[in-house]
Structure 1
Amino acid sequence: MMKKRKHPIQIVFNTIPIDHAATRAAVEERLEEVRQYRQIGFIRQEAVITASYEPKFHGPTNAISKPTETIAIRNVDKEAELREKSELLDKAMSKLSSPQKEVIERSFLDNEGEYDFISCGEMGISDRTYRRIKASAIQILAAAMRLEVVVLDEEMESCEHSVG
């Protein structure tokens, strides 16, 4: 049986120790954030100003409070951040094969929220193949969106000491 050759990029990137569980969680969190943004849009925070008729006795702080300005800046920045995340996801999705795209869209981005076993039945593939495609797609998305969580040296040293 012939073994599949690794791509040169895989050889280089496989030298970096990656925490796969944390990376998967980061990608799933980003996909959920983008899904909500695309379905609902951005929900703006509004300033609530209630007049208080009681005097506030405190020393001069020389600090100026601008709650409306702070909220306006946050709204603009957060909406731009979500738009950038959505565009980055679109670019990352373009790097996936068509089965990988379909799996990610069905698992994370569709409104319906189907279970994986239903999706793999509709796609005509086994559950194991579906999970394999999903894992490889998440790995590619993590690299493309720079969400990979690298294992720190201290964690690796503690793992080596506990093993040996």
Structure 2
Amino acid sequence: MSFELPELDRRETQKAVEQVLEKYRLYKYLIFEEREGSITGSSEERFHGPTNMTSDQTGSIAIYNADQQAYRKSFCERLERAASRLPKLEKFLIEERYMQEESDYLTDYNVYCFKFQPSISEGTYTKIRWKAFYKLALNLNIAVIILDRNDLPEEPKHVQEILGIGRSQTYELFNKPPFQVVKIGRIYKVSKITFFKWLDGEQGN
């Protein structure tokens, strides 16, 4: 049984990975400013009596601060683990170019000419970077896969996967489908041509 790696949209996948790496730098190197509670006296006259209810503002803020710090820590650790699994050259490139505090001020030229020892060509650098981006994108589940128009959907599950919706939402869509759907007994079949016309913003049925 053969296994084929998915073909990725190179431009969009690179964009997605770079956005995640930028988020990593923000979380890693910027100090998290915790929210603080405020007590402000109100001049508004109240005509009702005591409600015997209290608002735990301090508790809510403490929970928010703890959750945010835990999320940031988890996010950074997940990306660091993904980077650590890369082959040596790919790991070095990602860490030096994208995971340092000063990465925003580095250029690709700085990295392939001065960080790599010995230096490497721009072409070699580009190849190594794409291999690293490809693996990180799959590992972090942010890969942008190119739709193969020769392998078009016939089953509801294919529509579900492409649209990224749940099973119930898929069958709700089939009740008044904007593309051609044929029901044979309890089985749905989707028109390949009209589905992708609809997906591209063209007329479905």
TM-score by length of 1: 0.70
- Measured after TM superposition, the shift of residue 77 of structure 1 is 1.2
- Measured after TM superposition, the shift of residue 21 of structure 1 is 3.6
Q: Give the match's secondary structure for 1:46.
A: coil
Residue 103 of structure 2 corresponds to residue 115 of structure 1 = no
Q: Paired residue for 1:28, among 13, 18, 42? A: 18
Counterpart for residue 60 of structure 2:
70
Counterparts of 1:140-155 in structure 2 under 5 Å? 140-150=135-145, 152=162
- Structure 1: which 5+ residue stretches go unaligned? 1-7, 58-62
Q: Per-residue CA shift, 1:114-138, capped at 9, x if unaligned? A: 1111111112111122122112111
Counterparts of 1:6-21 in structure 2 under 5 Å? 11=4, 13-14=5-6, 18-21=8-11
Letter in 1 for 2:109: F
Q: Paired residue for 2:27, among 29, 37, 41? A: 37
Query: Following the alignment from structure 1 to structure 2, what is the Cα–Cα distance between the partners of residues 55 and 111?
Result: 52
Counterpart for residue 129 of structure 1:
124
Letter in 1 for 2:19: E
- Structure 2: which 5+ residue stretches go unaligned? 48-52, 148-161, 164-178, 180-194
Residue 43 of structure 2 corresponds to residue 53 of structure 1 = yes
Residue 196 of structure 2 corresponds to residue 157 of structure 1 = yes
- Measured after TM superposition, the shift of residue 47 of structure 1 is 2.3
TM-score by length of 2: 0.58
User: In 1, are the aligned partners of 2:112 and 2:122 still within 8 Å (CA)?
Assistant: yes
- Measured after TM superposition, the shift of residue 88 of structure 1 is 1.1
Bigger proportion of residues as helix: 1
Query: Following the alignment from structure 2 to structure 1, what is the Cα–Cα distance between the partners of residues 26 and 201?
Result: 43
Q: Bigger relative contact order, structure 1 or 2, given CA contacts below 8 A and separation 6+? A: 1
- Measured after TM superposition, the shift of residue 142 of structure 1 is 1.3
- Measured after TM superposition, the shift of residue 102 of structure 1 is 1.4
Q: Give the match's secondary structure for 1:44.
A: coil
The number of residues matched between the two structures is 146
Letter in 2 for 1:136: K
Q: Give the match's secondary structure for 2:126.
A: helix
Q: Which has the larger radius of gyration?
A: 2
Share of identical aligned residues, percent? 30
Output the aligned Cα RMSD. Answer: 3.2
